[in-house]
Amino acid sequence: MNLTALPAFTDNYIWMLDDGTSAVVVDPGEAAPVQAALDARRLALAAILVTHHHGDHVGGVDALRSRLKGPVYGPRREQIPTPYVALDDGDAVEVLDQRFEVIEVPGHTAGHIAYFHAGREGAPILFCGDTLFSGGCGRLFEGTPEQMHRSLSRLAALPGDSRVCCAHEYTLSNLKFARAVEPDNAALARYSADCEALRADNRPTLPSSIAVEREVNPFLRCDQSAIVRSATRHGAASTAGSDVFAALRRWKNDFR
Ligand SMILES: [Zn+2]
Ligand SMILES: [Zn+2]
């Protein structure tokens, strides 16, 4: 199986998984990059997976239907271009003979879902949309800090070698914030240098892995004492994980 990040708009990635004959794409915000990739590699489009309703994730769905050989899948509790197969937490979908489990991860939007493939020959794969980013997380447009903290905790509990396929290249700005939160984290300093080299070369910093995110992403480290101290200085109501998370998220909203 080949896993490819197709750049779209200014900083989106449309993830494509293919077996050499057929492909599935995730969150096609625009159709043109998908059509170009399918044509270049002579792939059929077997299915579309959608994580949430934002336009930069669903804008290309209808234009791709004419060449789509299978369903569009998406979260039940959101407005996704119809027709689509509505999914709930705990559901599973079979695409390209691979099983993906549905994990409901509300916070960025109210019904956001992620897709997790446990992996057979390769490492597991997580398509997490705008919930978990490398070094950061999505903004809370529709959910509460408690919901997002719980959603991220579920993703953090996945196997460490899971490939984290996020929908945006926000890594460098996220890591700048992460270093402000946790200046003495050596793993974070090393990872930042690696990602800066990749971006200088115009290469994606993704996929990341759950193991890396557990080491560098402050939003997955709300129980670490250095992070609790930083969050307390920035108004955390208590040292409880969801309060630490809420303070970090507010701080990040205004961080430049
Ligand atoms: Zn979004
Ligand atoms: Zn987005």
Q: Is 0.85 surpassed by the pTM of this model?
A: yes
Handedness of CA 193, 198, 201, 202 (dihedral sign): negative
Instruction: Name the percent of the chain lying above pLDDT 90.
Output: 98
Structure tokens at 129: 């949309």
29 C-alpha to center of ligand 2: Å? 9
108 C-alpha to center of ligand 2: Å? 10
Does 234 qualify as catalytic in the annotation? no
Q: Under the phi-then-psi rule, with left for phi > 0, alpha for psi from -120 to 50, and beta for the rest, what region is 12?
A: beta
Does 53 qualify as catalytic in the annotation? no
Sort strands 85-87 and 72-75 into parallel, antiparallel or unpaired: parallel
Does 149 qualify as catalytic in the annotation? no
Comparing CA positions, the residue from 3, 43, 8, 1 lying closest to residue 28 is 8
Options 18, 27, 53, 108, the catalytic residue = 108
Give residue-wise pLDDT tens across range 166-225.
Answer: 999 999 999 999 999 999 999 999 999 999 999 999 999 999 999 999 999 999 999 999
118 C-alpha to center of ligand 1: Å? 24
